[in-house]
Structure 1
Amino acid sequence: MTNQIYNQFVSFIWGIADDCLRDVYVRGKYRDVILPMTVIRRLDAVLEPTKEAVLDMKKKLDEAEIVNQTDALCNVAGQAFCNSSPFTLKDLKSRAKQQQLKADFIAYLDGFSPNVQEILEKFKFRNQIETMVESDILGAVIEKFVSPKINLGPKPVLDGNGDVNLPGLDNHTMGVIFEELIRKFNEENNEEAGEHFTPRDVVELMADITFLPIADKIKDAPYLVYDGACGTGGMLTIADERLHQLAKEHEKSITTYLYGQEINPETYAITKADLLIKGEAVQNDSVAYGSTLSNDGFPTTNFDFMLSNPPYGKSWKTDMERLGGKGDIKDPRFIVNHAGEPDFQMIPRSSDGQLLFLANKISKMKHDTEMGSRIVEVHNGSSLFTGDAGQGESNLRRYIIENDWLEAIIALPENMFYNTGIATFIWIVTNRKEPRRKGKVQLIDATSIKSPLRKNLGNKNCELTPELRKEISDLLVNFDETEQSKVFPNEEFGYHKITVERPLRLRVNLTKENLQSFSTQCEQQKEPQVLTIIEKVAEHFNYAILKNYNDFVAQVTTVAKELGIKLPAKKMNFIKSNLTQVDESAEKVIKKLHKPAKIEPNALNGIFETEINGKQHLVEYEPDTNLRDTEQIPLLHVGGIEKFFQDEVLSFAPDAWIDQAKTQIGYELSFTKYFYKPIQLRTLDEIAADIKALEAETEGLLYEIIGGK
């Protein structure tokens, strides 16, 4: 469909709102009538050709006193839904009396099959009927929607010569029109759209990269396609069409079953309606309503192909609470067994739940089929790098890459979407990589592959023509190293995050002046026994400033034992905080002694050999939290952690060590790192030539300015 025809449809439908609803509804409430009436008219247009046959069948069923008539009527209608009322929308436009129109319109709505009744319920459309009747606009609205100037059905309207008078609307185009209407309604309400609707060219690219790499593996078999954030269902529709097209090209006979889930009641109803029109490929329970994250509609179903554009930058705090709170989530989609950790968490921050949609799809992959599963999902840039090592986002990237499921990531041009101009990326995940792709990830920079639009559609100012989509999909399928396509080993994106510690060095101030202040602290904290101990220790060290905290602790312990006073950790911390100060020239504070036979000294584990009272001991030092630092060491670093630590840390801080208990593995991806192109600066000769040229142009100008002739 051309932009002109698309804009005509949107303008016509919006014009119905302005013409009929302006004095009855505020503009922000137009959607309560326009969206459901658009769906009803689309369903009505589909059923028009078989209306008489359905009524004939109903008459026979009534005469035979058959109660459950839906299946038989749908069969006659040739659709997954039907309307058994004696009316079509065109029949109702001629009603002169509002009360008769109301009764007939309600009878018309009641005539729809149960699956359509659910759609009307989600729209809450029946609540609007009384308002429209009282305002005498119901007939006008119906008349506008059945106008011969517009065709909301999927089949074209022909003229008397058999030529196309009005083109039909396929499901995806209908969905795009709905999305544009929703966007306009949101603007009227000063609302953020929340969802970033996926334009057809991006959806078609996603379908291409989903199916083209495995086109030769398609068999005569059923295939399940899933979208966990299906919106108006356009992605399912396009994917279905593309899969059938490829199957036909390879002379295969396939059956597809489409599954989706949507949380917004309006877009859910639109999806349900469009997939009902699709008919044979859809079961009544194939579209689930509710949150995919906290109320998975298909917990036990695995799928062959999964495509989505989930909401990004959107809080999932409500879902988190429904799942039990971040610390108590046990959902096996997000808590898995990996790398020896039975409770490996892939739970991101509550402010952005987009990666959970990817984790949800990964849990639904088929592992027992030859082709496995393929996942194609759109994300913004934060999914590539947010989350530190050991955190949910990084753990999910690690889980995918270490299982060798990440096939490729494609960077799209900016301003590709209607409601956002930010950078977006397509993730391609599969559990059946080609042999040449094993252990590798392909990054494709398609940011410059675009064609400008003549007129912006929201934020969208460019598009992917069929030729450009082929160019991008060829980069994926060919798997060659080019300026726009780079291939890396999986380990390229991983790193060890180590925590580097340095010893705490404390001096102890036992001067009489400081003891006076300490005495006041002891009185306030009611610690007379502590003061007694410290006074004896200070006398032992002749009221000096000690540079060895370890000697001080030893003497405190001795005095306390002599006095029969217990010194728990709380009291020792009280002493430490009031009598000590950090001093780089002081001795290192010993935290723990180790038996030599059980452990070897090594800066990598923080165990050192030192002399105490003339004997060698293995010790563990107390770390100084103010000197604590972290380092990221690539998994592919030659020599690993030890070599990096020797070269980059110990050469500058010989007393440092690694807290191995805090070492984490993280994964992140950076397109800038691999595709950055520095600006070529001009040479000195070029700059000098420009300066000389300017000097020549301005020669004598200064003389003229100051008054020369």
Structure 2
Amino acid sequence: MDILQYESKIWSTADLLRGSGIKESEWPSMMMPFFALVMIESRLVRMFDQLKEEIGEEAIAEMDKEDLYDLIRDNGQGYNAYLFERNLTLKDICKNDKTFDLDFSEYLKAFDGETKDLLGVDVNNGDKFLDIRGVIDKLKAKKVLMGYTKDWSEIDLRPFNNSEITTLEEHIKRKWADMSAETAGEQYTPGDIIALISEIIASKIEESNQLLTIYDCSCGGGNLLFGVEDKIKEKFKRFTATYGQDWNDALYAMAKIESRFREDSKIEYGNTLNDDKFSNEEFDIATANPPYGVDWKGYRKSIEDDKTGRFHYLPSVGDGQLLFMQHIISKLNANGLAVVVHNGSSLFSGDAGSSESNIRKWMLDNDLVEAVIQNPTSEFFNTGIYTYLWMINKNKAPERKDQLLLIDASKKFTPLKKNRGDKRVEIDETNRLEIVEALTRFEDCDFARKFSKYHFYYNKQAIELTNPDEDGNTFRDHLPMKTKRDGSEERAKSENLTPVSLTDGETTLREFEVTEFDKEQYADLGEAFDQHWKPWVNALDYKEQPLVVETKSARYHFDNDRETIVKTTKVGEEALGCGKIVVKATLKKKTKKLPERIEITVELTPDTQKDYEIIPFDPDPVTNRSNIEAFMAKYVFKPFVYLDNVVGSEINFNKIFYRPEGLRSVGKILEELSSLEKILASQELGVFE
């Protein structure tokens, strides 16, 4: 039997919701608890049937009832007194409409405590998880509870194994994802992406008697985690154990329910980033599709105070993807492998020196990244953006040391016959195998490029440029030399003037130490400073105004035409080179010797500006410095001094795999123009006719 025959049957349960006027976006939250309910019942009944086969019908019949019930409970998959003690299923309950309300309520209460918590049977002030109680109340208000429950009770999943039920669950979750990104689709990973991740992981593991541990730190409903496990089990006979954590109530509950019917699986509830439930464990394999662009300001303090050492840098509070990445790396054992889904921001967001750039550089410094794969757009149900698979490997082959493979799989897809929300394409098996083959060969091909990891580093060299005048002179050359403590000499940063007057074309200032103010207009000298002197000084512009500073021995102004400071004395004019005339106003507090006052100062400085140059990086310090100097000699023509150099890191697929559109031939263009002329001529003839 094909379990997918039940897909349409399950989906038909929403007919009553539609007829009751319940919005389509609410259907997933109302279908999830009932899907979980029939899934639990079918698996419990199947578990009991298997127990009968193992022990024997006769032995079961002869057992003390309490011993039998304890045996069922010890299986750890759940318990329901209605099922095992009264032999009543959900379908049986729905046969009697007179006792349905009471029986259904008692049936739900007959589950074990954990199942009731996950379903949300007894909702208190805590977590609702699947909130079946809230859904029941809504259905009662619409007077469709019994009909809705009856529809679900007719879905019999007993003949199917865990993997088959998981397959059906993924299909149903995908339909929910089409409807609402706020529910099951929030972290739903398409089956073809799961298959690709599984193939990648399978290509790196070998048959062994050792247990293979698989971890997902943001497992959602578990479709990625369990999907990877099932695919690996298809290829290998290895024993596996799955571990997952999520803090979405409904999705956690779905994953937790699923985990109870797997041989070795543990799902925990909570926020991985500030409450890691597996803090003392490491894993062989990790996979995740963490949320994109979700901020972490709500738990910022706990992240900043984290003592585990897993977060080497904290990215922008607006996007926590790289927090998840650092966490995942910390959870891998010495030979661990991870394949993680991200959007493009993890590749290139953040400038050199930013936390995002530093996280990427830290990953490359430690040679953790083996490959990055660009998926096609329109792959996910709720977004059409590009997504990327990061392959993290703590045990890279020696020949791949310090190497990184980029795979552009953006064209490796087949169109879907029918769109599924935003999902319009899928990576089919043929393309998946080609991608994995490229990864295995680890060589250049038409859609893959191998690089040294240092290809993705760059220098962000800060420099201080000094602007020259039209003759190439700067005011810096006129500054006096100063002797430093170590005996070396350097030029002064500026020259202070002692002005006797300052003119801006409208106002002439002769008092440079102000203690008086208009008491009718200002309450005190501080208010006069804030409202008059400071704004006036800030508005002075030596380039835009005829600003003239006069001292006892000379006058200074800026000549815009020649871009130079001009000094005029009795002897004549002297061009001092390009520079700035800086006027400052400072409010000085009262001292024992001096009253409160406003000091107006004037200084001459070189005309400098800070600039940055982006220069390719070389891991050899001598070569790197030589490359920087060669770049400056070739491209920077103004006088400058070196400031800090910061090494950044980014991975930009567009720069590497950009394919410009081919130009049409001249003949083709002329042919099209001739065709257009004929069309226009025929239209004109038609008008005149």
Q: Does the TM-score normalized on the shorter chain lie above 0.5?
A: yes
- Tell whether the 8 Å contact from 1:293 to 1:356 is kept in structure 2 after alignment: yes
Three-state SS of the structure 2 residue aligned to 1:204 is: helix
Q: Does 1:376 align with 2:339?
A: yes
Of 309, 321, 328, which aligns to 1:332?
309
Question: Is 2:100 the partner of 1:120?
Answer: no
Contact kept, 8 Å, 2:7 with 2:171, in 1: the verdict is no
Matches within 5 A, 1:178-217: 178-181=173-176, 183-184=178-179, 186=180, 195-215=186-206
2:107 is equivalent to residue 108 of structure 1? yes
* 8 Å Cα contact 1:176-1:199 kept in structure 2: no
**Deviation digits for residues 505-564 of structure 1, max 9, x if unmatched?**
667673524472653756566899xx9xxxxx97654566666999x99xxxxxxxxxx9
The answer (yes or no) to whether the contact 1:46–1:154 under 8 Å persists in 2 is no
CA distance in 1, matches of 2:665, 2:91: 75
Matched residue type, 1:477: T
> How has the CA–CA distance of structure 1 residues 522 and 688 changed in structure 2, closer, same or farther, with 3 Å as cutoff?
same
Please show how residues 253-332 of structure 1 align to structure 2 within 5 Å: 254-278=238-262, 280-282=263-265, 286-324=266-304, 330-332=307-309
Any conservation in 2 of the 1:152–1:168 contact (CA below 8 Å)?
no
CA contact (8 A) 2:77 2:261 kept: yes
**One of 35, 52, 63 as aligned partner of 2:32:** 35
Mapped pair 1:241 → 2:225:
no
Per-residue deviation, residues 43-96 of structure 1 (Å, max 9, x unmatched): 1112224558799979956657x9xx65x2145xx6622323323112211223
SS at match of 1:377: strand
Cα offset for 1:133? 5.4
Q: Deviations over 1:411-456 (max 9, x none)?
A: 1111011111101111100011112211100001111111111100
CA contact (8 A) 2:268 2:277 kept: yes
- C-alpha change, 1:432 and 1:168, in structure 2 (3 Å) is closer
Which position in structure 2 is the counterpart of 1:360? Answer: 327
TM superposition shift of 1:482: 0.6
Quote the RMSD (CA, aligned, Å). 4.3
- Report the 3-state secondary structure (helix = DSSP H, G, I; strand = E; otherwise coil) of the residue aligned with 2:261: helix
Please state how far the C-alpha of 1:291 moved relative to its aligned partner. 1.4
Which secondary structure does the structure 2 equivalent of 1:48 belong to? helix
- What CA distance in whole angstroms lies between the structure 1 residues aligned with 2:36 and 2:320? 31
**Alpha carbons of 1:309 and 1:59: their partners in 2 closer, same or farther (altered >3 Å)?**
farther
Segments of structure 1 that go 5 or more residues without pairing to the other structure are 157-166, 249-253, 336-344, 532-536, 554-563, 585-623
Q: Structure 1's 3 and 257: CA in aligned 2 closer, same or farther, altered over 3 A? A: closer
Q: How far off is 1:648 after superposition?
A: 2.4
Query: Which one-letter code corresponds to 1:418 in the other structure?
Result: F
Match of 2:384 in 1: 421
Which amino acid letter does the alignment assign opposite residue 516 of structure 1? L
Q: Return the offset for 1:653.
A: 4.2
Question: Residue 602 of structure 1 corresponds to which residue in structure 2?
Answer: none
Aligned to 2:587: none
- 80, 83, 94: which is aligned to 2:80? 83
User: Take 1:699 and 1:456, find their aligned partners in 2: how far apart are those partners?
Assistant: 38
- Alpha-carbon separation, structure 2, partners of 1:696 and 1:412: 40
Matched, 1:512 2:501: yes
Residue pair 2:341, 2:390 contacting (<8 A) in 1 also: yes
What is the rounded CA distance, in whole Å, between the counterparts of 1:265 and 1:177 in structure 2?
A: 18
Alignment partner of 1:440 is 2:440: no
Contact between 1:172 and 1:235, CA under 8 Å: does it hold in 2? no
1:628 matches 2:638: no
| Bigger fraction of residues in helix | 1
Q: Which amino acid aligns with 1:644?
A: I
Q: TM-score, normalised by structure 2?
A: 0.75
Match in the other structure for 1:412:
375
> After alignment, is 422-431 or 106-115 more displaced?
106-115
- Deviation string 1:552-601 (CA, Å, 9 cap, x unpaired) is 99xxxxxxxxxx9899xx99xx86x75246664xxxxxxxxxxxxxxxxx
Q: Is the 8 A contact 1:373 1:430 kept in 2?
A: yes
The one of 597, 602, 605 equivalent to 1:579 is 602
Equivalent residue for 2:458, pick from 450, 473, 495: 495
User: Which residue is 1:610 aligned to?
Assistant: none
Evaluate the alpha carbon distance shift between residue 701 and residue 131 of structure 1 in structure 2; reply closer, same or farther with a 3 A threshold: closer
651, 670, 674: which one aligns with 2:656: 674
Tell me how far apart the structure 2 counterparts of residues 496 and 18 of structure 1 sit (CA, whole Å). 59
| Cα displacement (A) at 1:5 | 5.0
- Who is 1:221 aligned against? 210
Q: Is the 8 A contact 2:455 2:617 kept in 1?
A: yes
Q: Structure 2: give runs of 5+ residues left out of the alignment.
A: 121-128, 467-474, 477-493, 518-524, 534-548, 558-566, 568-575, 583-591
Letter in 2 for 1:34: M
Q: Equivalences for 1:11-22 in 2 at 5 Å?
A: 11-18=11-18, 22=20
Asked if structure 2 preserves the Cα contact closer than 8 Å seen for 1:495 and 1:632, the reply is yes
Identify if the C-alpha distance between structure 1 residues 274 and 696 changes in structure 2 by more than 3 Å, giving closer, same or farther: closer
- Partners of 2:676 and 2:133 in 1: CA distance: 82
Relative to structure 1, the CA distance from residue 44 to residue 500 in structure 2 (aligned partners, 3 Å threshold; closer, same or farther) is: same
Query: 1:48 touches 1:88 (CA, 8 Å); kept in 2?
Result: no
Query: Higher strand fraction: Structure 1 or Structure 2?
Result: 2
Report how many residues are paired.
587
Q: 1:657 to 1:330 in 2, by over 3 A?
A: farther
Aligned residue type for 2:303: L
Q: Which residue of 1 aligns with 2:150?
A: 143
- 1:471 is displaced (CA, Å) by 1.3
